[in-house]
Chains A and B, each alone.
Chain A
Amino acid sequence: MNTSLRLKSSLLSLLLLAALVMVWHVATMPRQALPLSATTLTPEQIEYQKMLGKDPAAAGASSAKSAGFPTPAQMGQTILRHFSDPIYDNGPNDKGILIQLAHSLARVGLGFALACLVAVPLGFVIGMSPMLYRALDPFIQVLKPISPLAWMPLALYTIKDSSVSGIFVIFICSVWPMLINTAFGVASVRRDWLNVAATLELSAPRKAFEVILPAAAPTILTGMRISMGIAWLVIVAAEMLVGGTGIGYFVWNEWNNLSLTNVIFAILVIGVVGMLLDLFFARLQKWVTYVE
């Protein structure tokens, strides 16, 4: 029953994918009637086109390139090309896809780790103290909805290093969901468990690490998962702004090169990596979740 359901859904997914590629293929098929064909033009017009650097006689040969949107076949070639040589470094504008990804992941990882270091302990304290919760709430509420990219100029001005600014932006966007979820998780630990901790005369560290932390862990992990999702969204935009390295910069660079195949390839890679990151946190979440 369950396996047949899984089989059916997988089959449907594959069918949908096939249909999608089919539509794509049909939509990007090279058109026969080219607007600039040597046969339809007067000699003057041909001369004029040649002066503009476009050779109508050669147009037929290069039609695949001028068609604009890449075909699925071209996409496939590009993907193969990228994966056959993922790690190379031919200067600032030409790096292997894995190198770009590694740069992005390192920024996200670093910013996210810093956010964890700040948000989880702070969230713990806020969650334990209703007074602090209320005192800090207005700040959190105002700072939370700010687009992380809005911090960019300020970060660039104060930090004066584009790469570190990117990390800062990741930090600032990851910190809020984690902070709020940790505080909420800690504040809503069941009274009973705290009472048990009290009657067993637990020391404060034992109470924090052996009662409150495991009790709040699922909520904290949810916050982390949300944070990671946002961080991965933001890194692309941040790297487009900051430039230099990373998958976001790659997208922007390929746009400047007008290489849509590479842009589409990068989009796919961003999606897959984002999914893997989310899966990883989902796994962690499952690991700490308990059934009451």
Chain B
Amino acid sequence: MSAAMQAPPLSPPRQPGGRSYREALAASTARTLRRRRITNYVMLGLTSAAALVATLPLLFILAHLVAKGGSSLTWGFFTRMPKPPGEAGGGMANAIVGTGMLILIASALGLPIGIGAGLFLAERRDSKLATTVRFLSDVLNGLPSIVLGIFAWQLLVRPFRHFSALAGGIALAAMMIPLVTRATEEMIRLVPVSLREAALALGYPRWRTSLGVVLRTALPGIMTGALVAVARIAGETAPLIFTAFGNQFWSLSPLQPIAALPMQIYNYASTPYDDWRAQAWAGALVLLVLVLIISLAARFATRSRFGLGGD
């Protein structure tokens, strides 16, 4: 900058031998260019370091889970019932089945409602009701899961004075509905309009066009979205601790308290017993593998853009 100033700025160079000016300019340009390039590489380094740092916790967590959970992961873990602290060899059979049961209840409620609402949003995309529903579905998606837990407790546990799998399933279904709704809407919008028009032109009634042609075409994508939603609720604890409550015994009844893998991990993690802590690690490993398998299946099944559970 200062070197460039030395050259007479206004008078046109009479003598074309304005060498010093050109040299100075070139030198200063080279200097700033070097500085700009260095900045560029520093920022490249910083951003790639950020990417590296962000993947470290994941690797740490995975390594700890495999190291600590893997050793106590025996066949008995899957087939046996929980045992009191101090007695070795307990398992989480009832919690694993309980998680399956809760997922079933939540899906039975959440899938039809979510898909129905998604169909509505996709077909009446700009109506006032659709805009409102879409926004409120986002609001529902953003609610903390603990709020859904106390809601289900107030609605279904308090009046009946009884914890139940059903109450837990309903809390999870409330989490699932906005996810499935969003997935269904996006997938149906991907179906070409020409397909719908062709069916209508062939004399199909609108309802059969929607269900038999459009929904059917979008179904694999919707299933992907449903899987992502299931992966999301499978690991939820907060909505369950006051509703499904947990159960040390075998139970499949929707009207009884039921055990669930995440709750069992929570209960065992906060105890001082080594046996139980080891069980918590093993349970966490199983839960994570379960969730990862479901999300990977969802991701690779259709290669859609539903990589993240919700947003």
Asked if A pairs with B, the answer is: no
